[in-house]
């Protein structure tokens, strides 16, 4: 059986944590191991984790609060070999085939590759609300730079991709991790220098509750607007989309990436000049890739949001 290392960051997750850990340990047809980093919890999360300290399939680390993105990347950079790696939230429930479903897709791909799946959204009591995506979301490089539509908790990557992401030159800047989190970087990097496959089937019960750090839906448009204007992404002077493009150029300069991806990164990286803004707006393919009308996209560019 293939060895899979599941990476979980916990923070004040005492209520649902045990159920999630048990669902991971119950994965079928894989040799599953779990590495947990507690990100400075102040509730009873650490007491829950102590119940698993003697389990030889679980490694637990306790750290100071760094934020979800940094905490997950600390886990990713740990030198612990496996055939495959996966991220896990602290409050979901995995179906027994979650990991093997991803592995079977990845086994069809040569070289570094990332898998992600759809999600079955539930309430706090695991009552099903619906499936997150009825049609496959746009997950190309341009759309990944604009916004991450894939949750890290559905991701599985092979050893080749994990090894690349762990190299120092392939690590994102602090601004990206603070504003966009770990999964946005992993998705964008995979679309630049690896291969990505999306599974429309769901293998995870994605629990929504009052303490979610990241959720499936915004409650309404007003909340979405307010949340945007209070995030680090807006408050930073430099667009994180531009920073991400420049980080990707730096991370992949020794990797043979396609000319199309080189052009996309160049366009996004130069939007701090008037010429750069005009160049990206004139590129019809970019707007089509991210699924936005050209006028709306042009407004975002000139407002400095790209």
pLDDT for residue 254: 94
Distances (CA, A) of 263 to 192, 267, 285, 306: 11, 6, 11, 16
Would the pLDDT of 231 be above 70?
Answer: no
pLDDT for residue 236: 47
| 294 band by pLDDT with thresholds 50, 70 and 90 | confident
- From the CB of residue 123, how many other CB atoms can be counted at a distance below 10 Å? 11
pLDDT for residue 238: 65
pLDDT for residue 128: 98
Instruction: Scan for tokens 């590129």, then name that residue.
Output: 283
Per residue in 233-262, pLDDT (tens digit) is: 444 446 899 999 999 999 999 999 999 999
Higher pLDDT: 49 or 292? It is 49
CA–CA gap between residue 21 and residue 103 (Å, rounded)? 20
| 166 band by pLDDT with thresholds 50, 70 and 90 | very high
pTM of the model: 0.90
> With 0-12 CB in 10 A as exposed, 13-18 as middle and 19+ as buried, what is 145?
buried
Would the pLDDT of 33 be above 60?
Answer: yes
Would the pLDDT of 20 be above 80?
Answer: yes
Contacts of 171 (CB under 8 A, 6+ apart): 73, 77, 165, 251
């Amino acid at each position: 059986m293939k060895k899979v290392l599941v990476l979980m960051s916990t923070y004040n997750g005492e209520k649902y944590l045990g159920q999630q850990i048990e669902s991971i340990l119950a994965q079928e047809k894989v040799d599953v191991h779990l590495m947990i980093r507690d990100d400075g919890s102040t509730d009873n999360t650490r007491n829950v984790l102590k119940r698993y300290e003697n389990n030889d399939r679980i490694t637990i680390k306790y750290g100071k609060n760094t934020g979800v993105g940094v905490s997950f990347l600390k886990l990713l950079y740990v030198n612990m070999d496996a055939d495959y790696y996966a991220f896990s939230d602290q409050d979901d429930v995995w179906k027994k085939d979650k990991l093997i479903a991803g592995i079977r897709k990845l086994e069809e791909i040569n070289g570094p590759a990332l898998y992600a799946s759809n999600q079955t959204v539930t309430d706090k009591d695991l009552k099903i609300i619906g499936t997150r995506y009825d049609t496959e979301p746009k997950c190309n490089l341009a759309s990944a730079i604009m916004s991450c539509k894939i949750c890290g908790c559905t991701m599985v990557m092979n050893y080749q991709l994990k090894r690349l992401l762990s190299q120092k030159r392939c690590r994102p800047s602090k601004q990206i991790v603070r504003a966009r989190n770990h999964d946005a970087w992993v998705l964008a990097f995979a679309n630049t220098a690896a291969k990505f496959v999306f599974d429309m089937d769901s293998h995870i019960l994605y629990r929504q509750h009052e303490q979610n750090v990241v959720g499936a839906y915004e409650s309404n448009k007003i909340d979405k607007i307010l949340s945007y204007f209070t995030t680090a992404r807006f408050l930073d002077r430099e667009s994180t989309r531009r920073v991400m493009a420049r980080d990707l150029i730096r991370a992949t300069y020794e990797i043979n990436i396609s000319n199309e991806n080189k052009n996309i990164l160049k366009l996004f990286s130069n939007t701090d000049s008037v010429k750069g803004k005009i160049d990206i707006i004139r590129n019809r393919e970019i707007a089509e890739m991210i699924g936005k009308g050209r006028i709306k996209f042009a407004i975002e560019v000139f407002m400095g949001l790209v």
